[in-house]
Amino acid sequence: MLVSGQRTESVDVPVVFERPLSLFAYIIGHGQILFRGEPNPDAGLSTTVEVLFKNVGALSLRDHYSRLTVRLASPGEADRIRDADPRPWRDRRAFVLETDSGADGHVVAGAMYWGERSGPVGYSSFLIPEYDLPRFRHDRPGPSRSGPVHDPFPRR
């Protein structure tokens, strides 16, 4: 599905994204995966692209794709994915994430949406604005990195 402003329309897969996309959010409790492509004026990219998978049941993916094609799995690919995770899919289907070198991941999900907006968007998502995504403050120090804790195993 393509979401543009308040309009939603069905689109066919495969969908090809000729730009870098990075894993932006993984909302575990609601089974959602969000990829985002940020604007990059040096590369001629003035828009923000988001790709959202909803009702995710299984996944195998990278955190970054320099170019991405999303398509439905072939029957053979779907069988291999089911063999790896035999839980019932119910109303989900397998989407294959494909790079120039071939299939490189999959998402078993109920739906896929994508949208494009001009300019930078900030940290919130325009496809899932109802979620308050975590904001990382670069001016605050991160958690300290303590060394490993060695506790002897109790002997009897």
Residue (of 99, 60, 102, 62) closest to 80 by Cα position: 60
Tens-digit pLDDT profile for residues 28-49: 877 999 999 988 889 999 889 9
Which of the 8 DSSP states describes residue 13?
S
pLDDT higher at 152 or 123? 123
Residue 9: pLDDT above 50?
A: no
The pLDDT of residue 95: 96
Residue 143: pLDDT above 60?
A: no
The pLDDT of residue 96: 95
Strand order in the sheet with 58-60: 15-17, 68-72, 93-99, 102-109, 58-60
The pLDDT of residue 126: 83
Residue 147: pLDDT above 60?
A: no
Bridge partners, 109 (sequence order): 93
Q: Is 18 exposed, middle or buried (0-12, 13-18, 19+ CB in 10 A)?
A: exposed
The predicted model scores a pTM of 0.77
The pLDDT of residue 8: 44
**26: CB partners within 8 A, 6+ apart:** 32, 33, 34
* 82: confidence class by pLDDT, cuts 50, 70, 90: very high
The pLDDT of residue 76: 96
- Average pLDDT (95-119) is 89
